[in-house]
Chain A
């Protein structure tokens, strides 16, 4: 796979091959709309080790996809603006790089796959053409070589009869196969970081199992880092190493996967885990988190979760839990009462 012409990255000053492949520091994104400023991301930080899987868990509107779009530089601007923070690739802040270099890093080193594979692929070109275009454009390959590489890639993502299917159009593929094509496109240029935004949400469970198994295998083979953005607690439990739980544009809890499921330290995480239907509670009411997520133009003062929180005290209504509380050496939580939450099992 790595017979590629190596891309010249040394032109970028400050690039440190030993630094982490991706590090996000205090990222802020806002959307300027006619109804006011929506604070979509309010100080998100996380880092990613080589080969690591980081899950970003949250419900719709929590800012998880916007974070990914900011990293990829595909934010709709306007109305979306990155208003602060750093996005570091191997120690270099992408936000401060000149446009051409930034694009080069993003094209070659960070790739993304989306939930809706059908709309992410161009319907009027064959799958082979779209894959081949990447090689022609970024690797300067000839048409023939590019096609050969496309077939190799389709084989790699286990699409049967790749040699024939390379000439088909996206609509001729089933949902699961389309997602495979998108993974092939994302892997084409050998990225170090893959961002997967709800990659299996639109798929059936048996297909989801296939795709997640494929992703895990490819990640292992290439020692690639994976950012998995999802709302599915089950998928996260299956694949993630570390988890960042997001709420109202902030990371409210960050921990290794086992710790979070064993003893959540934030009431929101705890509520999410409790609202999953469980065997032993059949016939009983599910425990639901009351109320609604906040509107991003009008996030509550203090802790954003306080109106829905059963632990909330006066301090939660006034002081945001910033900086994060260090729960243990490897985990943090944004809750004044994390001890009570964690202990109260």
Chain B
């Protein structure tokens, strides 16, 4: 276990659905996250991809302690956060910090940059004596490429990319081992995205951070991640190294997802092996039996409705893939 800075075991989050105003009774549950096993190694970047409703945001909220798991274990540096009480958990939380998606809403507009980046010290007062905090905040600002003299400015005086840097500085304040990036660049313009991704990679090299990088932009994840997990309806359906997932995807959903990404090269138009899925994602309150992807899958057989496939290496898939018929299909290079 010591190899991993973070590990989840059968992590589950169900949101109860209740009816009635006075006498509430539970009529079901939204199975937002339904049994996730992930491991994160020191210094590694684990990408998590999936479409809206797949549970990646709920997973992220559980990892940083914004949501309590319904069941399962969450180990951060070997300590089980899911079984800890208040004060101890607050302490443990220091090791895993969050960078949010929208730099326009994730910074309190009424606080100065110094107050925002310094807030973690106010909450965890034992980390740094009061008189050293300001200098540390300025150090952090310099680290993320901002002018330390701007410490008294307000968020609205910065551009989107700069605000995201402020958010990153706040996440770094408590010297965490792990940073969870929840769609950190998807709200930014293309030309600014590259700047922020470069910064994240530089910080990882300099500080030895481990990243969990959640995104829907598959090319960004491919650029930054060492390993990638693909989620669908609350479950991981395929996990492997960046090469395995992008070059040799074996799960039909991964293949459809990858093939749907438009390629910025007009010469490949019409030549790519594009799989257009039909229908919508089923409701997580009432997921299909057996394999959850079977309702939209072109390979589905009777067995898919009866038996839930396990996330493990399959006959034709050397890396774990939760499909009875897992098989490599080269979707990215099909045209070349």
Give residues in A with beta carbon < 8 Å to B.
Answer: 59-60, 160, 174-177, 204-210, 212-213, 231-240, 257-258, 261, 271-273, 275-279, 281-282, 285-289, 292-293
> Given contacts A210-B276, A235-B262, could you give 18 more A-B pairs where the C-beta distance is less than 8 Å?
A174-B280, A175-B52, A209-B260, A212-B262, A213-B276, A231-B190, A232-B262, A233-B190, A237-B265, A258-B267, A272-B190, A272-B191, A276-B264, A277-B197, A277-B222, A285-B201, A286-B197, A289-B191
Nearest chain A residue, comparing its CB with the CB of B202: A285
- Contact among B189, B195, B222 with A59 in the assembled complex (CB-CB below 8 Å): B189
With A210-B276, A275-B191, A276-B219 already in contact, the answer to whether A237 and B51 are too (CB < 8 A) is no
Quick one: which of B243-297 are within 8 Å of A by CB? 256-257, 259-269, 274, 276-277, 279-281
A-B contact count (CB 8 A): 111
Question: Complex formed: what's the CA distance from A51 to B13 in Å?
Answer: 49
B198 and A286 contacting across the interface, CB-CB below 8 Å? yes
A206 and B51 contacting across the interface, CB-CB below 8 Å? yes
B257 and A205 contacting across the interface, CB-CB below 8 Å? yes
A-B contact pairs, 24 of them (CB 8 A): A204-B216, A205-B51, A205-B218, A205-B260, A209-B262, A209-B276, A210-B276, A231-B190, A234-B261, A234-B263, A237-B262, A237-B264, A237-B266, A261-B264, A271-B191, A272-B191, A273-B264, A275-B191, A277-B224, A278-B223, A282-B222, A282-B242, A285-B198, A292-B161
Query: Which A residues touch B193, using CB under 8 A?
Result: 275
- Contact among A209, A212, A287 with B194 in the assembled complex (CB-CB below 8 Å): A287
* Interface of chain B: mostly helix, strand, loop or mixed: helix
Query: Which A residues touch B174, using CB under 8 A?
Result: none
Nearest chain A residue, comparing its CB with the CB of B296: A206
Which of A206, A239, A275 has the most chain B CB atoms inside 10 A of its CB?
A: A206
Query: Which A residues touch B281, using CB under 8 A?
Result: 174
Query: Which A residues touch B269, using CB under 8 A?
Result: 237-239
Question: Complex formed: what's the CA distance from A273 to B194 in Å?
Answer: 11
- Give the total of B residues in contact with A, Cβ under 8 Å: 41
Nearest chain A residue, comparing its CB with the CB of B243: A282
- Contact among A204, A231, A288, A292 with B52 in the assembled complex (CB-CB below 8 Å): A204
B159 sits at the interface (CB 8 A): yes
Question: Complex formed: what's the CA distance from A285 to B173 in Å?
Answer: 25
Query: Which B residues touch A235, using CB under 8 A?
Result: 262
**Per-position binary interface string of chain B over residues 155-191, scored 1 when its CB falls under 8 Å from any chain A CB and 0 otherwise:** 0000101000000000000000000000000000111
Query: Which B residues touch A279, using CB under 8 A?
Result: 222
Question: Complex formed: what's the CA distance from A207 to B276 in Å?
Answer: 8
Q: How far is the CB of A89 from chain B (nearest CB, A)?
A: 29
B100 sits at the interface (CB 8 A): no
- Contact among A176, A258, A287 with B266 in the assembled complex (CB-CB below 8 Å): A258
B220 sits at the interface (CB 8 A): yes
Query: Which B residues touch A292, using CB under 8 A?
Result: 159, 161, 192
- Contact among B201, B223, B257 with A206 in the assembled complex (CB-CB below 8 Å): B257
Nearest chain A residue, comparing its CB with the CB of B197: A286
B190 and A276 contacting across the interface, CB-CB below 8 Å? yes
Question: Complex formed: what's the CA distance from A289 to B51 in Å?
Answer: 29
Question: Complex formed: what's the CA distance from A68 to B281 in Å?
Answer: 32
Q: How far is the CB of A323 from chain B (nearest CB, A)?
A: 26
Q: How far is the CB of B53 from chain A (nearest CB, A)?
A: 9
Query: Which A residues touch B267, using CB under 8 A?
Result: 258, 261
B189 and A204 contacting across the interface, CB-CB below 8 Å? no
Query: Which B residues touch A206, using CB under 8 A?
Result: 51, 256-257, 260, 276-277
